[in-house]
Amino acid sequence: MPPISILVVHGPNLNLLGQREPGIYGSLSLADINRLLELEATKLQVGVFPVQSNHEGVLVDKIHSALGDYQGILINAGAYTHTSVALRDAIAGVNLPTVEVHLSNIYRREEFRHHSYIAPVAIGQISGFGAQSYVLGLQALVHHLREKSV
């Protein structure tokens, strides 16, 4: 079986994790979350390659460049989840299995957070489990990729 490489996309303001609204987003930093993903990736025998940007175009470009280098995408698009047709179209365009994750349960928050442009082009969505949402999302994505290759 070929090695599996996962692009991990962190959207705007996630660079402030650990200090930004810890009651909602928890006390772990983005570096902490990336370390959790590295640990899980080692257990799963896959590679994870995180990128974070506050700029929509940078994220779109990174998703475009995923073709040929990655077998799947794990994404927390942050606020762009609810606003970005461009990210939605980039994910649809590369047609890589994508799992959407959120630290908080977006459906228990403000009404505008209940809509995701990403969800219709993702194979699934996990939200509300804090940093564990990322780990669960990675597990689900790897399981999907391995089942697909059988």
Whole-number Å distance between alpha carbons of 3 and 107: 35
Question: Phi and psi of 93, rounded to 5°?
Answer: -65, -40
Question: What do you get for the CA distance between the two ends of the chain, in Å?
Answer: 9
32 is in an annotated binding site: no
82 is in an annotated binding site: yes
Question: Phi and psi of 49, rounded to 5°?
Answer: -135, 95
- Of the candidates 10, 70, 102, 134, the residue annotated as catalytic is 102
Beta strands 72-76 and 124-127 are unpaired
- Of the candidates 10, 25, 80, 117, the residue annotated as catalytic is 25
76 is in an annotated binding site: yes
95 is in an annotated binding site: no
The answer to whether residue 102 is catalytic is yes
Whole-number Å distance between alpha carbons of 122 and 135: 17
As annotated, the binding site for substrate includes: 76, 82, 89, 103-104, 113
Active site residues: 25, 102
